[in-house]
Amino acid sequence: MGAMQGGHQLLLLEGGETLFPALVEAMDAARRVVHLETYIFEFAGSALSVAQALERAARRGVLVRLVLDGVGTPQVPPEWRRRFDAAGVRWRVYAPLGRLGLLIPSSWRRLHRKLCVVDGTVGFCGGINIIDDQDDVALGRLTAPRLDYSLRVAGPLVADMVETMEQLWWRLQAVRKARQREFMAAWDALRETLPVGDFSRLLQKFEAHSGSASGHGEPLGAGEGAFHFGVDDARACLLLRDNVSHRHDIERAYLKAIGEARQEVVIVNAYFIPGRKLRRALTMAAARGVRVRLLLQGRYEHFLQYHAARPVYQHLLNAGIEIHEYAPSALHAKVAVVDRRWATVGSTNLDPLSLLLAREANVMTTDRRFASQLHEHLEALVQRSGQTLSAHALGQRPWRQRVLDRLAFGVMRALLFITGHRY
């Protein structure tokens, strides 16, 4: 995984309004396998269309696998438990919380990636949870849809998506069997997570391959009336972050792209508290004349998320970096463009939870056509929807606010120290 290859179709989708119809279209056309991972699955509003599509696919004999995070989706409603079980949907909860909940540091390692693969030929990767665009877990009902993105992909990296999702699925199966004291079954499931030399055999074994996963696949649609843009024959790769063999892959990709920037860096990110390496890369880029612009979350959601970011903002603003806060609604996007030649779309926030603890997935591309289109879109977004933050205004806030900032930053660093991380 992570090797850049050509031959990809990339289609950018904005919001659940465009992603959900595209998911439903792909699931309704599925013949063998639908595999979906998500942090949040809300069984209400427009997200119901995805749940119903999973149910329909399972009823007609498609192997349907669904993995939900135990914090993002702590409960599946009883009605949908019955419906999924009756239809044959195979669903699992990743790391459900025990009685002590998040008091145990190891429980902070969450499944935060949002991946879906249908028949081994079409994949989806981005930041959009399966939740209505105007529903928000922290903010309640929004007056306008949240800002978020996903990519619909065909091409070689879909095989990498299948591989990482298969490995997680069989690890969850092993844990489940071990808890039931079925130790031989647990060992058999665990063996399925071992590296596979011939990936085509893995696809065949689980009947997840209906056409070449390394070819172009089927033409990519986006649902009726969808906002989208995309390209064919693009060079791209899948980047992962986990706690085993891909601990820093996504962060290193950002560092390399920013370190090579010559004209402009544009980052749109929901939860932005970069560590020392990323802060240094951004400030050094600004020092050598690169225009660095950040479009970040403008809403107060959580104490640490809001206040711990302010000292970092002050440092970056003092270095000449532009910061804009998204005004119309909640921002949940995680995308970036460098010099109109490098772009990424995925689930990764530039904060400690994403970069040090969570399972994440991003698609990275060096296709100049896609990067230019995304740059133009983000340029218009910053101009139209961003409220500029100034170093002077941030520094002149009431002293109580600034004390809270320092307190939150200190608490964040202490919590990371408990987990054995320096950031």
28 and 172 housed in the same domain: yes
Residue 213: inside a domain: no
- Record the pTM: 0.90
132 has pLDDT over 90: yes
Q: Is residue 119 among the annotated active site residues? A: yes
155 with 7: CB under 8 angstroms?
yes
Q: Is residue 248 among the annotated active site residues? A: no
99 has pLDDT over 50: yes
Q: Of 333, 385, 382, 299, which Cα lies nearest the Cα of 16?
A: 333
pLDDT of res. 402: 94
125 and 269 housed in the same domain: no
* CA 43/CA 395 separation, integer angstroms: 43
349 has pLDDT over 70: yes
Residue 383: inside a domain: yes
Q: Is residue 324 among the annotated active site residues? A: no
- Six-digit token string for 141: 């009902």
Q: Which of 205, 222, 255 is the last residue of a domain?
A: 205
Residue with tokens 């033409």: 219
- Quote the DSSP letter at residue 143: S
pLDDT of res. 300: 95
| CB within 8 Å of 121: residues ≥ 6 apart | 154, 158, 209, 210, 211, 212, 213, 217, 218
402: number of Cβ within 10 Å? 17
Burial of 210 (0-12, 13-18, 19+ CB in 10 A): middle
Q: Is residue 277 among the annotated active site residues? A: no
pLDDT of res. 248: 96
| pLDDT (average), residues 236-258 | 96
Beta strands 135-136 and 342-346 are unpaired
Give the residue, 181 or 278, on which the prediction is more confident.
278
273 and 413 housed in the same domain: yes
35 has pLDDT over 90: yes
**Backbone φ and ψ of 222, nearest 5°:** -135, 10
Give the residue, 191 or 76, on which the prediction is more confident.
76
Q: Of 202, 269, 238, 17, which Cα lies nearest the Cα of 123?
A: 238
Residue 365: inside a domain: yes
* CA 330/CA 66 separation, integer angstroms: 27
85 band by pLDDT with thresholds 50, 70 and 90 = very high
255: number of Cβ within 10 Å? 16
Range in 207-211, 376-380, 412-416 with the lowest mean pLDDT = 207-211
* CA 58/CA 33 separation, integer angstroms: 9
Q: How far is CA 309 from CA 216, 329, 331, 347, in A?
A: 42, 19, 15, 19
DSSP character string of 313-356: HHHHHHTT-EEEEE-SS-B--EEEEETTTEEEEES--SSHIIII
Residue 220: inside a domain: no
Give me the percent of the chain exceeding a pLDDT of 70: 87
184 and 96 housed in the same domain: yes
225 has pLDDT over 60: no
Residue 223: inside a domain: no
219: number of Cβ within 10 Å? 10
Give the residue, 410 or 420, on which the prediction is more confident.
410
| pLDDT (average), residues 382-396 | 95
- Six-digit token string for 107: 């429980």
pLDDT of res. 102: 86
**Residue from 8, 69, 119, 249 carrying the catalytic annotation:** 119
Q: Which of 180, 205, 230 is the last residue of a domain?
A: 205
155 and 24 housed in the same domain: yes
Range in 162-176, 203-217, 399-413 with the lowest mean pLDDT = 203-217
Q: Is residue 421 among the annotated active site residues? A: no
199 and 250 housed in the same domain: no
Q: Is residue 332 among the annotated active site residues? A: yes
86 and 135 housed in the same domain: yes
* CA 80/CA 67 separation, integer angstroms: 14
* CA 111/CA 96 separation, integer angstroms: 11
* CA 49/CA 23 separation, integer angstroms: 9
End-to-end CA distance of the chain: 25
CA atoms within 13 A on the CB side of 276: 4
Give the residue, 311 or 185, on which the prediction is more confident.
311
178: number of Cβ within 10 Å? 15
**Residue from 8, 35, 69, 114 carrying the catalytic annotation:** 114
Mean per-residue pLDDT over the chain, rounded: 90
Residue 296: inside a domain: yes
299 and 199 housed in the same domain: no
157 with 124: CB under 8 angstroms?
no
**Residue from 177, 209, 307, 332 carrying the catalytic annotation:** 332
92 has pLDDT over 80: yes
Beta strands 63-69 and 90-94 are parallel
Q: Which of 179, 205, 231 is the last residue of a domain?
A: 205
193 has pLDDT over 60: no
Range in 12-26, 45-59, 210-224 with the lowest mean pLDDT = 210-224
189 and 332 housed in the same domain: no
Give the residue, 420 or 378, on which the prediction is more confident.
378
300 and 185 housed in the same domain: no
Say how many domains are in the chain. 2
224 with 13: CB under 8 angstroms?
no
Residue 173: inside a domain: yes
- Six-digit token string for 68: 């939900």
**Which CATH number characterizes residue 132's domain?**
3.30.870.10
The domain in which residue 404 lies consists of 239-418
Range in 24-38, 91-105, 177-191, 318-332 with the lowest mean pLDDT = 177-191
* CA 176/CA 95 separation, integer angstroms: 11
258 and 347 housed in the same domain: yes
* CA 351/CA 356 separation, integer angstroms: 8
**Residue from 35, 334, 375, 377 carrying the catalytic annotation:** 334
Residue 234: inside a domain: no
Dihedral sign for Cα atoms in the order 228, 233, 236, 237: positive
331 and 384 housed in the same domain: yes
- Six-digit token string for 422: 């320096």
**Residue from 112, 177, 209, 377 carrying the catalytic annotation:** 112
Q: Of 167, 25, 36, which Cα lies nearest the Cα of 89?
A: 36
352 has pLDDT over 50: yes
202 has pLDDT over 70: no
